Structure 1
Amino acid sequence: MKRYFSPNGKKVIFFDLNGTIIDLQASLESSFKETLEEFTGRWYSEGSGWDPDKILLKYRKLRKTMAQQRHQSSILKETFRGTPIPVNDEFLRSFSRRWKELKAEIVEPYPDVKNTLEKLASRYTLAIISNGNRARRTAQLRRLGIRNIIPDDRLFTPVNGWKKPDPGMFKYALEQLNIPASQAVMVGDSWKNDVFGATRAGMDAVWIRRLGKTSSTMRKVGREKVIMLRSCRQLTEIF
């Protein structure tokens, strides 16, 4: 049985974007807090007891416990209960609309990502394979401040009807960079989209599994073994 891949001979490291480089939960909470501050600034003053961080904490807890039973507007209404905010349908619609706009604009990388990418970029070509709208993904790269490391021409989004986990998506990216699958590796948080898709295209893969409980460091896909890491920072230990 083949062991997990060796970095020897690798030239390109492909990354997934959302959930691998971008911390979706942190991005959601940052956009929530900014929306909150836009809508409630007139209630905030030193010593007023009005604390946006406490509102965010309350929303986080309610979202975890109510998400399966309640609509988003109900969760927001409960979040603002007991605050000076005059919660009504018009307010909730306006708040949700603005929050949606900011969620498209605010992106938070995982704390370990930028430094890791900079170190890897000194030895490897870095690229991204991501599902989703190309214009939005390009904007996310710009806001992350990593386009000097991963320029737009190394961002690969769905094309010709292919998207992850279709191996055609990965083969297309390889062709554009003019490298064989054996010289590339895919790094991502989705077993189905990133790991399974890449290995079907003949590439090696690394699975970023931040929240798993298992202590295992690898998992099999077919006859191959795939490394499991808890953070992107660990990539510098294997490359």
Structure 2
Amino acid sequence: MIKAVLFDLDGTLLDRDESVKKFIDCQYDRLKHFVGHIPRENYSKRFIELDQRGYVWKDKVYQQLIKEFAITGISWEELLQDYMAEFKNHCVPFPNLITTLEKLKSLDIRLGMITNGWGNFQLDNIKALGIEKYFDTILISEWEGLKKPDPEIFRRALKQLNVPAQQTIFIGDHPQNDIKAAQYAGLIAVWKKDPQWNHVEADAILDDLAELPILIENRW
């Protein structure tokens, strides 16, 4: 019987790819005085390439953009601050996010989240999605002092929820940081499909978040 579900954030609950596209398009408009000499599509495309789906921190991204596009009048620190302040206003949830969380809560399942990233930045994004209230615990790597795939961060979440690993599902999109790491920590690992990877060895695979409560009721 499943007692708890732990979620990753980016790529699992938050459609980060779409959120980034919305953000960078609006940043271009906001800061057009400084970046208007760059074609919009070039600025957006290069940001997304350098960002590597969030695995490169934005200080390096903006330093490279300034260098490549000869941006003047604004520093990379100011561009980074704009990112930190404004990204939360462009957060796009995956379909059926709220209804899935509500269904899981109705099944008396405890909910938690483990996400790598900066504390206030990630919490702002969680609040922007309107989902903070559904979670019994939220662990963000900066504040925890460790990050996925370290098994200790999974154990810490289990301790806070007071549930055993074998009765807990972890759902995420990354084959190593989420799926293999969760399995190594003894949890049931469910892969939220991501087009970046063709196949991932997981205990179950989902196309849509709405499939999760059905899976739990029928399988576990």
Q: TM-score range by the shorter chain?
A: 0.7 to 0.9
- Matches of residues 207-226 of structure 1 in structure 2 within 5 Å? 207-212=191-196, 214=198, 219=201, 226=203
- For structure 2, the 5+ residue unaligned runs are 34-38, 53-63
Match of 1:110 in 2: 94
Match of 1:3 in 2: none
TM-score (norm 1): 0.68
Say yes or no: does 1:122 pair with 2:95: no
- Matches of residues 218-237 of structure 1 in structure 2 within 5 Å? 219=201, 226-237=203-214
Say yes or no: does 1:16 pair with 2:8: yes
Report deviation, 1:198. Answer: 1.2
| Paired residue type of 2:100 | T
| Paired residue type of 1:100 | Y
Distance of 1:64 and 1:136 partners within structure 2: 19
Match of 1:176 in 2: 160
Contact preservation (8 Å) 2:6, 2:112: yes
Distance of 2:11 and 2:42 partners within structure 1: 23
Match of 1:195 in 2: 179
Contact preservation (8 Å) 2:193, 2:207: yes
Distance of 2:47 and 2:119 partners within structure 1: 30
Contact preservation (8 Å) 1:21, 1:110: yes
Larger radius of gyration: 1
Match of 1:45 in 2: none
Match of 1:82 in 2: none
Contact preservation (8 Å) 1:187, 1:208: yes
In structure 1, which of residues 2, 27, 32 is the aligned counterpart of residue 24 of structure 2? 32
CA separation of 1:132/1:147 partners in 2, compared to 1, >3 Å: closer, same or farther?
same
Contact preservation (8 Å) 1:116, 1:232: yes
How many residues are aligned here? 198
TM-score (norm 2): 0.73
Contact preservation (8 Å) 1:206, 1:226: yes
Report deviation, 1:145. Answer: 0.8
Q: Deviations over 1:101-141 (max 9, x none)?
A: 34543322223323322222221222101122333332222
Q: Deviations over 1:55-97 (max 9, x none)?
A: 65554455678999xx42366x4xxxxxxxxx85225859834
**CA RMSD between the two structures:** 3.3
Contact preservation (8 Å) 1:116, 1:233: yes
Question: Percent sequence identity over matched residues?
Answer: 27
| Paired residue type of 1:154 | T
Match of 2:73 in 1: 90
| Paired residue type of 2:16 | L
In structure 2, which of residues 85, 107, 123 is the aligned counterpart of residue 138 of structure 1? 123
Distance of 2:50 and 2:174 partners within structure 1: 25
Distance of 2:103 and 2:207 partners within structure 1: 18
